[in-house]
Amino acid sequence: MSTSSLSRRHFLMGTALAGSAAFLGLPRMARAEALDKLTVGFIYVGPKDDYGYNQAHAEGAAALKSIPGVTVVEEENVPETIDVQKTMESMINFDGATLLFPTSFGYFDPHILEMAAKYPDVRFEHAGGMWQADKHPTNVGSYFGYIGMGQYLNGVVAGHMTKTKKIGFVAAKPIPQVLLNVNSFLLGARSVDPTITCQVIFTGEWSLAVKEAEATNALCDAGCDVITCHVDSPKVVIETAAGRGAYVCGYHANQSSLAPDKYLTGAEWNWSKVYTDMITATMAGEPIPNFVRGGLAEGFIKMSPLGPAVTPEAKADFEAKQAEILKGGFAVIKGPLKDNKGNVIAAEGEAFVETDVKLESMDYLVEGVLGSTS
C-alpha cells in the first residue's frame, strides 16, 4: 500500500471527524443516547439474489429500509480480500456508515479486525465469526443462528422419504458450520432409520456452478435419493438433483419454486427479524451484545413449508421434532456417538445442546457419513 493512499485516507477520516464535530458541536456520543439517523452498510460476497446465503442477508437488509431514519447501503460481489477493507472504508468515510454487516465468513480475520482497530467508533457485526472477549476488539460483534437444527429437520423428512437409505450432501468447505450441517442432516435421518448413510462431496469453494452440478450427479449416480447442500447458491444443486429425479431439501433461502414437486422442506435464515431487532436496539441507544446466537425458538431460522411429496407420517414426525426443538435445549450431537473414523465424540449420556460453543469448532464427520474432512 502506498503512502499517498494512506495519507489521503487519513485526510478523509480527519475531515469527516472534524465535520461531524463542527456540526454537532460536541464529540460523538453515539452509544450513550438514542439516535434519529443511522446509516448501515451491508457487504455480500456474491450477488444478492442468488437464491442462497447472500439473498438471505439481503432480504434481511431490505426489511430495515422501512424503519424511519435508517439508511441502508449495500455492495455485492466483494471478494474476501483487501477489497472488503476498501469497501468498508468507503462505506465509513463516504456514506457515513456507523454500523457495518460484512456478512461473509472470510471477512472476519484479518479484514474486519484491522478495520475495527482503525475505526473504533464504528460497529462491525459479523455473521458466523468467532468473536472472543479476550482476543477481539469490543466494537466487533458476532451473530449466527443454529441452522444445524434446520438441517436436522431436513434430515428427519429425508429419512422418511428415502427409499435407497442413502442421502446426499453437496458441501463447500469443511469448516465447523458446514460439518455441523452435514452431521445434523444425517442424524436427523437416523432418528427415523439408523441404517441410513449420508454421502458428502466437498467442492472446495463457496460457489462453483459446474463442480456443484458434477457433485450432484455423482451423488445421484451413487444412489442418493434425497439431496441437500451447503454452498452459497443452492440453485444449481436443487435444479440438477430434481432433474435427476431425487428429492431435495433447501438451504439458506426458500428454493421450492425451482423444484415444486421434489422440494421437501428447507432450512432458511430469518435475518429480517435479527437485523430489525439489532437496529431497533441501536436506534434506542442500547448496545448490541457482542455474541448473539439464536435458533428456531428465537426466530433466527425457519423451515420452508413442507412440499406436496411429503407423506403424512413424515409430516407428523417433522412437526413433533420441531416442537421438541422449539422448547429449547435440544441436542443433535449426543452420546453414544462416534465419528466416522471410530473416535468417540460423545459418551453415553453426554450431550452437546444447540447453544454449546464447542459445536462451533467441530472438525469431524459422524459415523454414517461417507466422506472425509480433508
Partner 1 sequence: MDNDIGLWAIPIAILGGAIRVSTPFLFVSLGEVLTERSGRINLGLEGTLVFGAMSGYAVACLTGSAWAGVAVAALAGAVFGLVHGLICSLPKVNDIAIGIAMMLLGMGLAFYFGKPFIQPVAPDLPSIPFGGWSGLPQLEAALNVNVLFLIGAALSVFFWWMLRSTRIGLILRVVGDSTDAARAMGLRPAIIRTLATGAGGAMAGVGGAYLSLYYPGSWNEGISSGQGLMAVALVIFARWNPIACFFAALLFGGAGALGPALQSVGVSSGYYLFYAAPYVLTLGVMIAISSPSRAMTGAPGELSLTK
Q: Quick check: 235 binds partner 1 (CB under 8 A)? A: yes
Q: Which range in 81-89, 141-149, 176-184, 235-243 contacts partner 1 by CB under 8 A? A: 235-243
Q: Cα–Cα distance between 67 and 280 in angstroms, integer?
A: 8
Which lies closer to partner 1 via its Cβ, residue 112 or residue 224? 224
Binding pattern to partner 1, positions 195-234, x when CB under 8 A? ----xxxxxx--xxxxxxxxx-xxxxxxx-x-------x-
Which lies closer to partner 1 via its Cβ, residue 43 or residue 116? 43
Which position has the grid cell 428429492?
247
How deeply is 184 buried, as exposed, middle or buried, from its count of CB atoms within 10 A (0-12, 13-18, 19+)?
Answer: buried
Q: Cα–Cα distance between 316 and 233 in angstroms, integer?
A: 30
Which lies closer to partner 1 via its Cβ, residue 49 or residue 193? 49
Q: Quick check: 189 binds partner 1 (CB under 8 A)? A: no
Say how many residues touch partner 1, by CB under 8 A: 43
| Residues between 72 and 91 with contacts to partner 1, criterion CB under 8 A | 77
Q: Which range in 17-25, 41-49, 83-91, 178-186 contacts partner 1 by CB under 8 A? A: 41-49
User: Pick from 75, 125, 239, 317: which binds partner 1 (CB under 8 A)?
Assistant: 239
CB 226, min distance to partner 1, A: 12
> What is the end-to-end Cα distance of the chain in Å, rounded?
35
Q: How many other CB atoms are there within 10 angstroms of residue 191's CB atom?
A: 16
CB 265, min distance to partner 1, A: 20
Binding pattern to partner 1, positions 134-153, x when CB under 8 A? --------------------
Burial track 57-73 (b if 16+ CB lie within 10 A, e otherwise): bbbbbbbbeebeebebb
| Residues between 287 and 346 with contacts to partner 1, criterion CB under 8 A | none
CB 104, min distance to partner 1, A: 14
How deeply is 9 buried, as exposed, middle or buried, from its count of CB atoms within 10 A (0-12, 13-18, 19+)?
Answer: middle
Fill in the amino acid letter for 336.
P
Task: Report whether the peptide linkage leading into residue 287 is cis, meaning its omega lies within 30 degrees of zero.
Answer: no
Which lies closer to partner 1 via its Cβ, residue 144 or residue 202? 202
Quickly list DSSP for 51-103: SSHHHHHHHHHHHHTTSTTEEEEEE-S--SSHHHHHHHHHHHHTS--SEEEE-
| Residues between 94 and 133 with contacts to partner 1, criterion CB under 8 A | none
Nearest C-alpha neighbor of 317 from the set 93, 83, 155, 115: 155
Nearest C-alpha neighbor of 305 from the set 276, 264, 258: 264
Which lies closer to partner 1 via its Cβ, residue 204 or residue 328? 204
Q: Quick check: 255 binds partner 1 (CB under 8 A)? A: no
Q: Quick check: 47 binds partner 1 (CB under 8 A)? A: yes
Which position has the grid cell 459415523?
367
Cell of 288: 448490541
Ramachandran angles phi, psi of 298, nearest 5°:
-85, -5
CB 367, min distance to partner 1, A: 15
CB 44, min distance to partner 1, A: 12
| Residues between 354 and 373 with contacts to partner 1, criterion CB under 8 A | 370-372
User: Pick from 39, 71, 93, 164: which binds partner 1 (CB under 8 A)?
Assistant: 164
Which lies closer to partner 1 via its Cβ, residue 70 or residue 186? 186
Cell of 26: 460536541
- Interface with partner 1 (CB under 8 A): 46-47, 49-51, 77, 163-164, 199-204, 207-215, 217-223, 225, 233, 235-236, 239-240, 244, 257-258, 370-372, 374
